[in-house]
């Protein structure tokens, strides 16, 4: 959820400021770009040098900065526009009051009043301060502005008291941000199954029947689904590709039978299934135990049998699932794709044709046509496969939300 996001972290003068070193590390690890605004009082609790080192950006404290004898200023308007998320943690009672009343007496407050992005604040103060009517009024006022409060936790406080007012732990702040961002995504709460790549059907211990699929299209579809808020099962045949995303479970298989079993185990639990894998239609009827030796110039004959049709099986079993197939055709593409769509009881099919330059296997681009069960056809231009994935998901989301 936070990968590629610009997070502006405002740190105010409370003892909980020491936790922000851990918070910055977690944000960076989650893939965010982090800039820090520190109030003067906060610098007594946490070192600007430490935060600068961890965030890999200069820590901002004043409107005016002096570098090599020259004066310049920290543009609060630019900072507010830069941020995708403005997080104020810890947010002291003093700062909360300023935010609620618009008291602009430092760089953090000026940036807050200029921010166009979602603002989150994590209160931190002693028990009696947290319960004071003026603090409660600040909370109500800030929530009415559309700001989001990360509730304080209960525990031991700096005063020695124990109760509510302790700043949420960095791990919980990160989780709160991720859940808040996911809540507005179109696939939030959805489970998605995607097959990708080729399958390898063994002939003997060293040889197999396979195809030229790299799995790129399926992996891009999985990454886009995760970015849209889905929990993804990515079932991939033999491919050099990998993926690191907390919302993607990568299940590696080799043969069509292994892929069938992996799909069968998970299909009933998902909302959307996309069969993007190039699954072998046939496999050797017998697999040689030892490597097959070449016998002079005599031809080798392999007896083949059909593999299980994974896509057709999903089409038969679907109850609530939206099932999408792929059709790679070399001729009569539209006609054959429509036949496959209806024969396998799919909700939609994505056609890509080997007749189109830049489409198909072994390329970072693709040219597809989306066809739904009502035979509504939408053709797209040649694009990078990451953009194609976005187009396909836009078509699916439009139909499942209809």
The string of pLDDT tens digits covering residues 370-393 is: 999 999 999 999 999 999 999 999
For the chain, where do the domains classified as CATH 3.40.50.10300 start and end?
A: 191-283+304-400
Q: Is 211 a residue of the active site?
A: yes
For the chain, where do the domains classified as CATH 3.40.50.1950 start and end?
A: 6-183
Cα gap 74→301, rounded to integer Å: 75
Higher pLDDT, 357 or 84: 84
Q: Are strands 231-236 and 191-196 parallel, antiparallel or unpaired?
A: parallel
Please determine, for residue 136, whether its predicted confidence score (pLDDT) is greater than 90: yes
Q: Assign domain 6-183 to its CATH architecture.
A: 3-Layer(aba) Sandwich (3.40)
Report the DSSP beta bridge partners of residue 184.
none
Task: Give the pLDDT confidence of 198-246 residue by residue, as tens digits.
Answer: 999 999 999 999 999 999 999 999 999 998 999 999 999 999 999 988 7
344 marked as part of a ligand binding site:
yes
H or E element, residue 162: strand 162-166
291 marked as part of a ligand binding site:
yes
Higher pLDDT, 69 or 1: 1
Cα gap 220→75, rounded to integer Å: 38
Reported confidence tier of residue 172, pLDDT bands at 50, 70, 90: very high
Residue carrying structure tokens 């069938």: 260
Task: Give the right CATH number for 191-283+304-400 from 1.25.40.10, 3.40.50.10300, 3.40.50.2300, 3.10.450.50.
Answer: 3.40.50.10300
Q: Pull the structure tokens for residue 295.
A: 């016998």
Q: How many CA atoms lie within 13 A of 284 on its CB side?
A: 17
Cα gap 250→242, rounded to integer Å: 8
Reported confidence tier of residue 3, pLDDT bands at 50, 70, 90: confident
- State the pTM of this model: 0.74
Q: Hey, CA dihedral for 48, 49, 51, 57, is it positive or negative?
A: positive
Report the DSSP beta bridge partners of residue 191.
231
340 marked as part of a ligand binding site:
yes
Looking at 211, 271, 336, 345, which residue is catalytic? 211
Average pLDDT over residues 166-186: 90
């Amino acid at each position: 959820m936070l990968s590629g996001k610009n997070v502006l972290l405002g740190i105010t003068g409370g003892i909980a400021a020491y936790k922000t070193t851990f918070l910055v590390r977690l944000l960076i690890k989650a893939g965010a770009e982090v800039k820090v605004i520190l109030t003067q009082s906060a610098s007594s609790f946490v070192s600007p040098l430490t935060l600068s080192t961890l965030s890999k950006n200069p820590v901002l404290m004043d409107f005016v900065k002096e570098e090599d004898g020259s004066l310049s200023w920290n543009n609060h308007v630019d900072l507010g526009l830069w941020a995708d998320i403005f997080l104020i943690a810890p947010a002291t009672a003093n700062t909360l009051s300023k935010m609620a009343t618009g008291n602009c007496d430092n760089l953090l407050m000026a940036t807050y009043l200029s921010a166009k992005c979602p603002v989150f604040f994590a209160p931190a103060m002693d028990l009696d301060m947290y319960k004071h009517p003026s603090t409660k009024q600040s909370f109500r006022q800030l929530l009415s502005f559309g700001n989001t409060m990360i509730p304080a936790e209960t525990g031991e406080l700096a005063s020695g008291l124990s109760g509510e007012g302790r700043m949420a732990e960095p791990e919980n702040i990160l989780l709160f941000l991720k859940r808040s961002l996911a809540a507005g995504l179109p696939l939030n709460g959805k489970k998605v199954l995607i097959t990708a790549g080729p399958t390898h059907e063994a002939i003997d211990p060293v040889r197999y029947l396979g195809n030229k699929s790299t799995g790129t299209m399926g992996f891009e579809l999985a990454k886009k689904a995760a970015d849209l808020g889905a929990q993804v099962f990515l079932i991939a045949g033999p491919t050099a590709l990998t993926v690191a995303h907390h919302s993607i479970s990568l299940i590696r298989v080799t043969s069509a039978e292994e892929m069938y079993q992996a799909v069968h185990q998970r299909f009933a639990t998902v909302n959307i299934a996309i069969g993007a894998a190039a699954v072998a239609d046939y496999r050797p009827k017998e697999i040689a135990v030892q490597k097959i030796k070449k016998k002079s110039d005599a031809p080798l004959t392999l007896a083949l049998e059909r593999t299980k049709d994974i896509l057709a099986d999903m089409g038969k079993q679907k109850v609530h699932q939206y099932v999408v197939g792929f059709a790679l055709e070399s001729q009569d593409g539209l006609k054959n794709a429509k036949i496959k769509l209806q024969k396998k009881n799919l909700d939609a099919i994505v056609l890509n044709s080997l007749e189109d330059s830049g489409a198909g296997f072994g390329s970072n681009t693709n040219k597809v046509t989306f066809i739904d069960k009502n035979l509504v056809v939408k053709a797209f231009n040649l694009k990078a496969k990451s953009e194609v994935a976005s187009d396909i998901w836009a078509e699916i989301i439009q139909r499942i939300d209809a």
